[in-house]
Structure 1
Amino acid sequence: MLMARGRESRSTAASAMPAHARQLRQLALMLVHFSVMPQGALSRGLGLPPEADPSRGREHWANMMCNSIPYPFGIRGSSIPGFEVTCGPNKEAMLPIGKHSYEIHDVSLQGGFVVISAGPISQVCYDRNGTRTQTTGTGDIRLEQTPFSNAAGGANLMVLNWAVGHGTCDQALTYNLASLHCNNKSGCIDAPSGAGYLCKCNAGYDGNPYAEDGCLDINECRNFDSNECSLWDFCNNTEGGFTCSCPHNWNGDGYRTGTGCNETPRPINWKNQSAGLSVCAQPERNPCTYLEYCSEDEQGVVACYCPLGLRGDGRQRGSGCQKHHYPLGVLVLAVGGGISLICLVPGIIFFMQTLKARQAKRLRAKYFKENRGLLLQQLVDKDIAERMMFNLEELEKATNKFDEARKLGGGGHGTVYKGILSNQDVVAIKKSKITIQREIEDFINEVAILSQINHRNVVRLFGCCLETQVPLLVYEFISNGTLSDYLHVEGALSLPWGDRLRIALETAGALAYLHSSALTSIIHRDIKSANILLDHRLIAKVSDFGASRGIPIDQTGVTTAIQGTFGYLDPEYYQTSRLTDKSDVYSFGVILVELLTRKKPSTGMHSECGSLIAQFILVIRQDKLCEILDPQVISECLEAAKDVASLALTCLSLKGEDRPTMRQVEMALERLLVANKNTAQGRSAELNYSPAQISNNNDHNSRQYSAEQALLLSASFPR
């Protein structure tokens, strides 16, 4: 039996980039982009590999040769216009831009980027419709009138996005432009960088979507995991797909997702038999006791079968089909055996339950040891540790065995579920995503830190469970979501300015407590709006301490692996690996900008036109703050917003020593909040580190901002 099933043809409309292409693109961007101020997303726990530092020299990248450069790139006459390359003295491929040519290190057809040897690049920004929005100048090379746009760059290397056409795929398809560049076995996809489009081989094909005959058929039958056939030998590769079948006289469609293949004999369908041509089709010649249980193969050999429950050879002149009768002795033995089995069942069940309980106990002890339960007991008081231990059964009952309906969301280190304990307390249970040893120690670190904290604006930890392969944390339940949820909503209105200012003050107070009031100075290391929870009264609660680090009181900082979230990550900490309390101050400054603008900072490798912080610093320097402020903030309290912007600017100083402490930030915000409630009395400028004082120091700060100018240059504005 043969059933055809080719893989669905790929739509020429926009489609998502494949996972391996995204990973390749991110790797190239990481290798180049990590030499400048970060703009992309770095998950907590992701350390910087030594070989990923472009400052170590270009020798870590091999040059591409002219004879190996893939189409649409090529020498003049063998490329798409705009993608011409030249050959260097050693036949290395060179990309000419303007009056200069640059060595090509890598080209990704699926990712739509090229890695070259160059410094920062000038470019023009465009939106997804191809409309010019802004021009930025950060070097001597200009990308206007080229198919390239700047993705990331360092001192030596640059990653350039490219596209074979302008506009979107929808526009290209409307005017039949995609066929100019994509071969007949590929389709159009929107370029991940924004404007423009790329080509991609259709499903069932792989290769170069730009070259003629560049997309080659994939042989799905070569690997069992690449096809859906029940029997490997009965997979038939076709152009762009495959078909599955079953052996002769077997039932089924041959697909694992269908009816598969089985060897059950098939009764005759009399309607489909040609009378006079088959023995089975002629009752007078049919030798079987049950005519419908007759089968005849291609050689004319007739086989008879018995219906279910009957035994025999199925033939009229043989034993036929008879009910099976057991001897009396067999019946007695069967009855006796059944009674004995009934008596044994309780004993067997008891034995299995006991064995299962012992195995579960040993497994819980094994997980407790692997999850560093002993380490936790060393880090905190033993009595406290025992009170904090929850058993797995209680948490499974509280979450209905971690039902998806109880899922609240996911954090940087795990998934959070809503649970109801036996005493009716509502809690949030965090199920960690742990795959390596260091992350287990991060988990224990979070437990140890939270057990020592008692502050109204820090989420309260009830305890943990270490009896599972994946450890669990039990927090107080905060009902109203995150600050990010409230800021980035649809519509013109969000949180009132007074609430924003109060939430900023409460967050600053919690961080100041962590830095100076706790027994050990605690650096949160991942302060962002998504980690600030709001309760039913919109009171701020700082959460997610998985990346936190304790620093002894007699030390000012520690050197440690990079952790945090790009967009909020302190550039000085990123470049030096030196973690101090000023790293949290920088992240808090980003939150202040977020409160002022209702815009998200750049948390991915790409943004529409540069990072939020780069734009914020630019409008401050140009005295155009209102261009970036949330209109709601302008209408409610513009003067207070200007003071908060000055405070944010100081928190965002590139040098940690130029930033205030969180205690000074808290005091400044407290004064602003009082002034906001009583504007008639005006604002007082008597605080040790008030925004007014910051404003008076702007002339001094401008001299320090040569580094911030570099920030603007390196935080490129990709189109």
Structure 2
Amino acid sequence: MTFVSLIRIEKFFGYVGVIGGFFIVALVVFITLLRREKRKTKEFFEKNGGPILEKVNNIKLFKKDDLRPILKSGNIIGKGGFGEVYKGHIGETNQPVAVKKPINVNLAKKNQFANEVIIQSRVIHKNIVKLIGCCLEVDIPILVYEFVSRGSLEDVLHGSNRLPLNLDQRLHIAAQSAEALAYMHSKTSTTILHGDVKPANILLSDDLLPKISDFGISRLLAIDNDHTMSVIGDMTYMDPVYFQTGLLTDKSDVYSFGVVLLELITRKKTSHSDKNNLLKNFLDAYTNGSTVRDFIDEEIAATNHLELLVGIAGLVVQCLSLDVNQRPKMTDIAERLHYMAKKTRGI
């Protein structure tokens, strides 16, 4: 073997040694990062109430890897100040779900997350979106809900999914939505106050069955802890009393529902601005004894149910009263709307 050959062999083994060194360093770094990621995942899981929630039978705890295929930009079906909502499928049955990835969570509420998820998991009502489970292995928990096919009432009334709606359909949507809120207020073990009732938070199935959504986690408050330091919600639908005092009550939801009911019969979009304010103009007309028929959507104004429309308008005015004590309870609203719905069908 020549001297040159020896040098070449020596260089070869030198290269192998360098490459091997790089490989060992890379492997050590990878193992370190993997351990750090596992430690962080465990910390998130425990901080978000994992040890409590894994004992709850009717809540499924998803791993990050379970939801990773869903959390892609092409699957986004909704986006707002709250975060992003993705559509996907899970499990052996390929069940369609809506995955909500919040941007942030009220720090004061983070410690209550597990208890609030437990409460929400026990809320079983045909007019309330079902919480299927959550992922706790991230800083801000990700929530997994049943998927509601038609989209929101906002879309159906004003947006891209706009549909013709007769009076019977509108009363059906209103009555069923009111029934869900009444259930939350008075028929659950812990009183649940929504705090952000609006058309965007009322989802509709293919047969227009309404389902109340986005009522839990950040806005779920017990009746003995109803003050909040930070007022949360859409100003267009927000109870002025709640805005001024920070006191969220069942009557706050009643006010917001009144605005939703107004949009349902007028098919006009309310606005928080002073100009062309539908709510103010409607209340002024009703108070001054003027006919409110001019405000009613022409699609339902030409019916034989003018008396019913006037009755709905009166209910809207009661819900929007600035005197909280003058507002009806949601149970009464639901009963009245169901009665009106029956009258449209001649029952």
Per the normalisation by structure 1, the TM-score is 0.44
- What are structure 1's unaligned runs of at least 5 residues? 1-325, 682-719
Corresponding residue for residue 464 of structure 1: 134
Verify the 8 A CA contact 2:48 2:136 in the aligned structure 1: yes
Distance 1:565 1:341, change over 3 A: same
Per-residue deviation at 1:542? 0.5
Residue identity matched to 2:264: L
Greater shift, 360-369 or 513-522, is seen at 360-369
Residue identity matched to 1:472: I
Per-residue deviation at 1:538? 1.5
The one of 473, 489, 505 aligned to 2:143: 473
Corresponding residue for residue 43 of structure 2: 366
Corresponding residue for residue 608 of structure 1: 275
Whichever structure has more helix as a proportion of its residues is 2
- Do structure 1's residue 549 and structure 2's residue 215 form an aligned pair? no
Secondary structure (helix, strand or coil) at the match of 1:523 reads: coil
User: Counterparts of 1:321-470 in structure 2 under 5 Å?
Assistant: 328-339=5-16, 351=28, 353-369=30-46, 372-374=47-49, 383-384=55-56, 387-397=59-69, 399=70, 402-423=71-92, 424-434=94-104, 437-438=107-108, 440=110, 447-470=117-140
Distance 1:485 1:403, change over 3 A: same
The one of 312, 325, 329 aligned to 1:661: 329
Per-residue deviation at 1:341? 6.4
- Do structure 1's residue 591 and structure 2's residue 257 form an aligned pair? no
Verify the 8 A CA contact 1:524 1:547 in the aligned structure 2: no
Separation in 1, partners of 2:28, 2:339: 70
Per-residue deviation at 1:608? 3.2
Separation in 1, partners of 2:15, 2:64: 39
Separation in 1, partners of 2:58, 2:20: 43
Corresponding residue for residue 534 of structure 1: 204
Whichever structure has more strand as a proportion of its residues is 1
Separation in 2, partners of 1:548, 1:491: 28
User: Counterparts of 1:188-587 in structure 2 under 5 Å?
Assistant: 328-339=5-16, 351=28, 353-369=30-46, 372-374=47-49, 383-384=55-56, 387-397=59-69, 399=70, 402-423=71-92, 424-434=94-104, 437-438=107-108, 440=110, 447-489=117-159, 494-545=164-215, 546-552=217-223, 558-561=226-229, 562-587=231-256
Separation in 2, partners of 1:361, 1:641: 60
User: Counterparts of 1:46-61 in structure 2 under 5 Å?
Assistant: none
Separation in 2, partners of 1:341, 1:385: 54
Q: Structure 1, residues 454-509: CA drift from partner, whole Å, max 9, x if none? A: 11111111111121233211111112110010011479963222111101111101
Residue identity matched to 1:615: N
Distance 1:492 1:462, change over 3 A: closer
Distance 1:671 1:361, change over 3 A: same
- Do structure 1's residue 646 and structure 2's residue 314 form an aligned pair? yes
Distance 1:336 1:576, change over 3 A: closer
Secondary structure (helix, strand or coil) at the match of 2:127 reads: coil
Per-residue deviation at 1:411? 4.2
User: Counterparts of 1:67-82 in structure 2 under 5 Å?
Assistant: none
Distance 1:491 1:634, change over 3 A: farther
Corresponding residue for residue 302 of structure 2: 635
Aligned residues: 340
Distance 1:433 1:488, change over 3 A: same
Per the normalisation by structure 2, the TM-score is 0.87
Separation in 2, partners of 1:413, 1:445: 21
Per-residue deviation at 1:662? 0.6
User: Counterparts of 1:113-262 in structure 2 under 5 Å?
Assistant: none
Q: Structure 1, residues 217-256: CA drift from partner, whole Å, max 9, x if none? A: xxxxxxxxxxxxxxxxxxxxxxxxxxxxxxxxxxxxxxxx
Verify the 8 A CA contact 1:442 1:547 in the aligned structure 2: no
Corresponding residue for residue 289 of structure 1: none
- Do structure 1's residue 672 and structure 2's residue 340 form an aligned pair? yes
Verify the 8 A CA contact 1:558 1:580 in the aligned structure 2: yes
Separation in 2, partners of 1:461, 1:490: 26
Separation in 2, partners of 1:377, 1:518: 25
Query: Root-mean-square deviation (CA), in Å?
Result: 2.9
Verify the 8 A CA contact 1:570 1:587 in the aligned structure 2: yes
Distance 1:530 1:551, change over 3 A: same
Distance 1:576 1:607, change over 3 A: closer
Residue identity matched to 1:358: R
Per-residue deviation at 1:425? 1.6
- Do structure 1's residue 620 and structure 2's residue 286 form an aligned pair? yes
Residue identity matched to 1:532: I
Distance 1:565 1:387, change over 3 A: closer
Secondary structure (helix, strand or coil) at the match of 1:420 reads: strand
Secondary structure (helix, strand or coil) at the match of 2:302 reads: helix
Corresponding residue for residue 175 of structure 1: none
Per-residue deviation at 1:565? 1.5
Higher relative contact order (CA 8 A, sep 6+): 2
Per-residue deviation at 1:343? 7.0
- What are structure 2's unaligned runs of at least 5 residues? none
Distance 1:503 1:445, change over 3 A: farther
Q: Structure 1, residues 81-101: CA drift from partner, whole Å, max 9, x if none? A: xxxxxxxxxxxxxxxxxxxxx
Per-residue deviation at 1:351? 4.9
Verify the 8 A CA contact 1:391 1:465 in the aligned structure 2: yes
Distance 1:346 1:493, change over 3 A: closer
Verify the 8 A CA contact 1:377 1:385 in the aligned structure 2: no
Separation in 2, partners of 1:481, 1:386: 25
Separation in 2, partners of 1:527, 1:488: 16
Separation in 2, partners of 1:463, 1:345: 43
Q: Structure 1, residues 181-218: CA drift from partner, whole Å, max 9, x if none? A: xxxxxxxxxxxxxxxxxxxxxxxxxxxxxxxxxxxxxx
Per-residue deviation at 1:360? 1.5
Per-residue deviation at 1:632? 0.8
Distance 1:523 1:491, change over 3 A: closer
Q: Structure 1, residues 25-69: CA drift from partner, whole Å, max 9, x if none? A: xxxxxxxxxxxxxxxxxxxxxxxxxxxxxxxxxxxxxxxxxxxxx
Separation in 2, partners of 1:470, 1:334: 52
Distance 1:632 1:625, change over 3 A: same
Separation in 2, partners of 1:464, 1:452: 14
Verify the 8 A CA contact 1:445 1:548 in the aligned structure 2: no
